């Protein structure tokens, strides 16, 4: 059985034909989103891309992982910061009318946790907390096998949990959200803020200051790099310990670009979380780096179809 | 249809016969727990009390709200701080064998949210976050109609979510848990800590320093009282805003002794939470004081039976 996953981003969208059995991607293509051409044009090109990747193969449905606030029962994008004209946009219905197949839409962070459950580190788990550390920090939770979305489908905003009440200003207007410290954007900001005090840091020898450069510098013993990584680890540890106390999950999966830092992030994070959780929680969970890497988006989107029980 | 609820506490237990239709308590009795007499004696006296309150009435089952870590599938008390010899104690089975009725055991904070759902402020709600502010801070969550307990039944430890990373030491060993600031115990501690700086505070004219005295003082404009209430409100607001961002609930119910402070707590709390949540969450939830007051324990325990679908 095949399903289609569409990973919708502000600049590009990716479409993949996925084998539901093992998550193998038979074919995938990437296209520019071109938001400026208007939402109907975007949907048309999405439909065209689905026809291309599925050519010659039967498939049961399409899942779309979209940024923003999604009414997932109706497949409606309520609003999405990078898509100004997508207000109460019936994305699912439009796409479905082009393709004559069921189309399901879910917030991209929720799609990520579904992808981990069906094809990634969360296979066989009924209690999963997932975080994506990218431009922002997204969160998705499966508890008792149920995707937790809340009354209006806007829940599990794990990136906007406050972990440093007097911490840095977040894009949402609050101070000290996890996203304001542990996103790629925040890491870059903290590096630039540190330039005056640490002008000799190797971070500023790089062509472009970004999260990868900061982690590389920390690995080389660079003082500013280490200071920033410490802060990221502390904030993430408080967040993750809170999520463990709240959801008592069997696994915490961390993905997104920042997670590719690997051991320099995960080793101190695991240690710190172990220290922060109450004794009864020790040994009840594991913390892992997402194994899905760059296909996480497509696989997550494809999983939406499977989670809805389409056969 | 009648059910029995047992609210088990360290000093007393209460047993009530409850009409499942409307939560009316037909009869209730309170007994000393006498933990020191050993667990089997306690169970015997609980059974005796059930026979007394149910005399002449048919009932379908018994729910027990117990402090500590509960294996709710098996009705086993894994451990409970106030009951030193209750380690992996098969409370449900023992009590059931006395009564020849189904007995269900649940953590007391989980029982509280069930009570609110069946008989209190949460009636008709599928997404409820509940907090009890007492000696400690307990939490219970119903999300998508499901009682969230986590993989091992130890989740929704909302009182141990960290809201002030460099805040006061909590009994659990961490700094700045919600419980270390917003419990009755913490409020008393903060008052005593303030005595040196505010020796003239009216708090110290009272016979006994406790949460009620602190709230009364704040209401009279007492500076120490106001300072403490501010801190409690700020900590609670960060916690509640986080829980709203995580669960997107339709209602947040706050009970326990501290909640009886009423408006002086709830008015600034609602304002602060409204300010902290992201715009898309405004208007999606209400924050209410638990209406169940002193019967919350019995009604919560009785609700366990109903939540399990016993008819």
Whether B173 and chain A come into contact, CB under 8 Å, resolves to yes
Residues A233 and A264: their CA atoms lie apart, in Å, by 9
For B35, B37, B44, B88, the CA distances from B40, given in Å and listed in that order, are 10, 8, 6, 13
Nearest-Cα distance to chain B for A63, in Å, is 22
Structure tokens at A249: 């999950």
Whether A82 and chain B come into contact, CB under 8 Å, resolves to no
- Give, as one character, the DSSP assignment of residue A169: B
Q: Collect all residues with Cβ–Cβ distance below 8 Å to B245 and sequence separation of at least 6.
A: A155, A157, A158, A160, A161, B277, B278, B281
Predicted confidence at residue A293, as pLDDT, reads 80
pLDDT over 70, % of chain A: 100
Predicted confidence at residue A149, as pLDDT, reads 95
Sort residue B68 into left (φ over 0), alpha (ψ -120 to 50) or beta. left
- Find the closest chain A residue to B283 by CA distance: A152
pLDDT, averaged across chain A: 95
Task: Provide, as residue numbers in chain A, all residues whose Cβ is less than 8 Å from the Cβ of B250.
Answer: 151
| Among the listed residues B200, B203, B45, B20, the one whose alpha carbon sits nearest the alpha carbon of residue B114 | B20
Taking residue B88's Cβ as centre, other Cβ atoms within 10 Å add up to 10
* Tens of pLDDT, residues B220-247: 999 999 999 999 999 999 999 999 999 9
Is the pLDDT at B72 greater than 90, yes or no?
Answer: no
Which SS3 state, helix, strand or coil, does residue A60 take? Answer: coil
CB B1 within 8 A of CB B277: no
Average of pLDDT values for B252-273? 97
B172 forms bridges with which residues in the sheet?
none
Structure tokens at B295: 């019967």
For A158, A172, A234, B139, B219, the CA distances from A38, given in Å and listed in that order, are 31, 26, 42, 46, 57
B76 forms bridges with which residues in the sheet?
B71
Cβ separation A165–B163 shorter than 8 A: yes
pLDDT grade, residue A306 (50/70/90)? Answer: very high
Predicted confidence at residue B10, as pLDDT, reads 87
- Give, as one character, the DSSP assignment of residue A175: B
Predicted confidence at residue A68, as pLDDT, reads 87
Predicted confidence at residue B275, as pLDDT, reads 96
Average of pLDDT values for B23-40? 95
Is the pLDDT at A69 greater than 90, yes or no?
Answer: no
Predicted confidence at residue B120, as pLDDT, reads 96
Predicted confidence at residue B123, as pLDDT, reads 95
Predicted confidence at residue A97, as pLDDT, reads 96
Predicted confidence at residue B69, as pLDDT, reads 87
* Tens of pLDDT, residues A237-250: 999 999 999 999 99
Cβ separation A247–B152 shorter than 8 A: no
| Burial status of residue B205 (CB atoms within 10 A of its CB: 0-12, 13-18, 19 or more) | exposed
CA within 13 Å, CB half, A244: 27
Structure tokens at A161: 């949990």
Task: Provide, as residue numbers in chain A, all residues whose Cβ is less than 8 Å from the Cβ of B234.
Answer: 165
| Among the listed residues B133, B112, B78, the one whose alpha carbon sits nearest the alpha carbon of residue B302 | B112
> Which range (A127-131, B50-54, B133-137, B190-194) has the least confidence?
B133-137
pLDDT grade, residue B302 (50/70/90)? Answer: very high
- Residue B251's φ and ψ, nearest 5 degrees, are -150, 140
* Tens of pLDDT, residues A275-297: 999 998 999 999 999 999 889 99
Which SS3 state, helix, strand or coil, does residue B140 take? Answer: strand
Q: In what order do the strands lie in the sheet with A251-255?
A: A146-147, A137-143, A128-133, A251-255, A286-289
Is the pLDDT at B26 greater than 90, yes or no?
Answer: yes
- Give, as one character, the DSSP assignment of residue A160: G
- Find the closest chain B residue to A160 by CA distance: B245
Residues B197 and B177: their CA atoms lie apart, in Å, by 24
Residues B174 and B165: their CA atoms lie apart, in Å, by 9
Structure tokens at A128: 């999963």
pLDDT grade, residue B310 (50/70/90)? Answer: confident
CB B2 within 8 A of CB B60: yes
Average of pLDDT values for B153-159? 94
Whether A280 and chain B come into contact, CB under 8 Å, resolves to yes
Predicted confidence at residue B77, as pLDDT, reads 93
| Among the listed residues B40, B49, B48, the one whose alpha carbon sits nearest the alpha carbon of residue B94 | B40
Within chain A, where are the H helices? 39-54, 91-99, 108-119, 179-182, 184-193, 211-219, 223-247, 263-276, 296-307
Place of tokens 């954007």: A185
Taking residue B220's Cβ as centre, other Cβ atoms within 10 Å add up to 10
| CA B246 remoteness from chain centre | 20
Whether A162 and chain B come into contact, CB under 8 Å, resolves to yes
Nearest-Cα distance to chain B for A53, in Å, is 36
| Among the listed residues B152, B120, B136, B6, the one whose alpha carbon sits nearest the alpha carbon of residue B65 | B6
pLDDT grade, residue A10 (50/70/90)? Answer: confident
CB A74 within 8 A of CB A90: yes
Q: Collect all residues with Cβ–Cβ distance below 8 Å to A170 and sequence separation of at least 6.
A: A160, A176, A177, A179, A180
Predicted confidence at residue A80, as pLDDT, reads 85
- Residue A61's φ and ψ, nearest 5 degrees, are 180, 175
Residues B103 and B87: their CA atoms lie apart, in Å, by 18
Average of pLDDT values for B70-77? 91
> Which range (A57-66, A76-85, A269-278) has the least confidence?
A76-85
Predicted confidence at residue B146, as pLDDT, reads 96
The angle that helices B223-247 and B184-193 make with each other, rounded to 10 degrees, is: 140
* Tens of pLDDT, residues A133-176: 998 999 999 999 999 999 999 999 999 999 998 899 998 889 99
pLDDT grade, residue A232 (50/70/90)? Answer: very high
Is the pLDDT at A82 greater than 90, yes or no?
Answer: no
Cβ separation A278–B155 shorter than 8 A: no
CB B230 within 8 A of CB B223: no
Is the pLDDT at A111 greater than 90, yes or no?
Answer: yes
- Give, as one character, the DSSP assignment of residue B33: -
Is the pLDDT at A132 greater than 90, yes or no?
Answer: yes
Task: Provide, as residue numbers in chain A, all residues whose Cβ is less than 8 Å from the Cβ of B242.
Answer: 161-162, 242
Predicted confidence at residue A72, as pLDDT, reads 86
User: What domains does chain B contain, in order, with CATH numbers?
Assistant: 2-114+295-307 (3.30.420.40), 124-290 (3.30.420.40)
Greatest distance between any 2 Cα atoms in chain A: 60
Place of tokens 């949402």: A172
Residues A50 and A45: their CA atoms lie apart, in Å, by 9
Task: Provide, as residue numbers in chain A, all residues whose Cβ is less than 8 Å from the Cβ of B281.
Answer: 154
| Among the listed residues B245, B120, B273, the one whose alpha carbon sits nearest the alpha carbon of residue A150 | B245
Predicted confidence at residue B294, as pLDDT, reads 82
Most A-contacting residue of B149, B166, B278 (CB-CB within 10 A), to test interface: B278
Is the pLDDT at B50 greater than 90, yes or no?
Answer: yes
pLDDT over 70, % of chain B: 100
Q: Collect all residues with Cβ–Cβ distance below 8 Å to B289 and sequence separation of at least 6.
A: B253, B254, B255, B259, B260, B262, B266
pLDDT grade, residue A43 (50/70/90)? Answer: very high
Residues B9 and B81: their CA atoms lie apart, in Å, by 11
Is the pLDDT at B202 greater than 90, yes or no?
Answer: yes
């Amino acid at each position: 059985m095949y399903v289609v996953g569409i990973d919708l981003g502000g600049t590009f969208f990716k479409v993949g034909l996925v084998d539901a059995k093992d998550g193998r991607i038979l074919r995938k293509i990437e296209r520019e989103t071109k938001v400026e051409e208007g939402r109907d044009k975007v949907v048309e090109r999405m439909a065209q891309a689905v026809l291309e990747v599925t050519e010659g193969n039967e498939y049961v449905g399409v899942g779309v992982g979209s940024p923003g606030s999604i009414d997932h029962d109706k497949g409606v994008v309520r609003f999405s910061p990078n898509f100004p004209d997508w207000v109460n946009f019936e994305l699912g219905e439009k796409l479905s009318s082009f393709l004559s197949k069921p189309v399901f839409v879910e917030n991209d962070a929720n799609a990520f946790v579904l992808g981990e459950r069906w094809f990634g580190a969360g296979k066989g788990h009924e209690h999963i907390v997932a975080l994506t550390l990218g431009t922002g920090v997204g969160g998705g939770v499966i508890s008792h096998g149920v995707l937790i979305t809340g009354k209006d489908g806007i829940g599990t905003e794990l990136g906007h949990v406050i972990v440093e009440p007097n911490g840095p200003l977040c894009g949402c207007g609050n101070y000290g959200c996890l996203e304001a410290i542990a996103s790629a954007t925040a890491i870059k900001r903290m590096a630039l803020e540190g330039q005056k005090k640490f002008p000799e840091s190797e971070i500023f020898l790089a062509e472009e200051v970004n999260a990868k450069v900061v982690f590389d510098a920390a690995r080389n013993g660079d003082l500013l790099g280490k200071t920033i990584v410490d802060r990221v680890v502390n904030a993430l540890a408080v967040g993750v310990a809170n999520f463990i106390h709240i959801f008592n999950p069997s696994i915490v999966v961390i993905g997104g670009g920042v997670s590719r830092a690997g051991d320099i992030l995960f080793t101190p994070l695991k240690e710190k979380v172990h220290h922060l959780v109450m004794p009864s929680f020790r040994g009840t969970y594991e913390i892992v780096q997402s194994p899905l890497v760059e296909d996480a988006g497509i696989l997550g989107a494809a999983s939406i179809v499977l989670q809805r029980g389409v056969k």
